[in-house]
Amino acid sequence: MTSAATVFAPVRSQTAFEETMERLGTAIKLGLLQPGDRLPAERDLCRQLGISRSTLRQALTALVQSGHLHATRGRSGGTFVAERLPPAPTPSPALLAGWRDACDQRLAVELAVAALAAERAEPTALSPLDEQVAAMETTLEDFAAFRQADVRWQVGLAEAAGSPRLTAAMTEAQGLMSDLIALIAHPPELLAWTNQQHDAMLAAVRGHDAERATRIMLEHLKGTEHVLAALLPPA
């Protein structure tokens, strides 16, 4: 299989938006897509990746906003790999080497939180989480404020599950993830998608639907893994 065929093979995942970001972002980091390369037309990309045009546009917009791609209009326009990638901070080798372990820890904690919150949460415990979703919706252009509300939402969900030890574990997991998330770009398109998942998860918890809550949480966490794989600097 050629490099191009690998990059543009069908995406078959519940996290198509984030997986498309990972596929393209990783190809750019590895040099499979070179600076200045023009991506195939949207119609062709949708067909090759097996995704909808709206999903593709979400992913392309996020990568444009992160500085990995740029788009031009006109007869010679299209979407191109940026000539210069955005500068990345220099993380410790240990942090980069352990990012998947940090994601695994978060996965174990947050799936349990989603399930228990759906079983146990009282309506009064969920109202503050609605406020955090609203706060995130208004801070899509201000990542520091968005992340603060995001952490409060995650820890608040653990508190709603009624387990002090799980709340402590959630706090630790969020601390590890903050160090990693600080290393990547935060396009508003991606933050908006993340907050939609928060809202859907909260609806499942409020409806005491543990299966749906954990399914949405799993999609949310796997999506974050795809984004980190796409945008983290090479180890």
Identify whether residues 197 and 103 lie together within a single domain: yes
Identify whether residues 47 and 99 lie together within a single domain: no
**pTM value surpassing 0.85:** no
Rounded Cα–Cα distance for residues 25 and 227 (Å) = 9
CATH number at residue 42: 1.10.10.10
Average pLDDT for residues 178-195, to the nearest whole number? Answer: 90
Boundary (domain end) residue, out of 81, 103, 130: 81
Identify whether residues 99 and 70 lie together within a single domain: no
Q: What is the pLDDT of residues 60-70, one digit of tens each?
A: 998 998 889 99
- Domain of residue 166, residue span: 93-231
Residue 168 belongs to some domain of the structure: yes
**β-strand pairing of 78-81 with 69-72:** antiparallel
Which pLDDT score is estimated for 2? 45
Residue 213: CA atoms inside 13 Å, Cβ hemisphere, count? Answer: 23
Q: What is the pLDDT of residues 76-88, one digit of tens each?
A: 788 999 988 777 6
Q: pLDDT-based confidence at 34, cuts 50/70/90?
A: confident
146 touches 191 (CB < 8 A): yes
Rounded Cα–Cα distance for residues 194 and 31 (Å) = 28
Q: What is the pLDDT of residues 89-133, one digit of tens each?
A: 677 888 888 999 999 999 999 999 999 999 999 999 999 999 999
CATH number at residue 149: 1.20.120.530
Average pLDDT for residues 139-157, to the nearest whole number? Answer: 93
Identify whether residues 75 and 100 lie together within a single domain: no
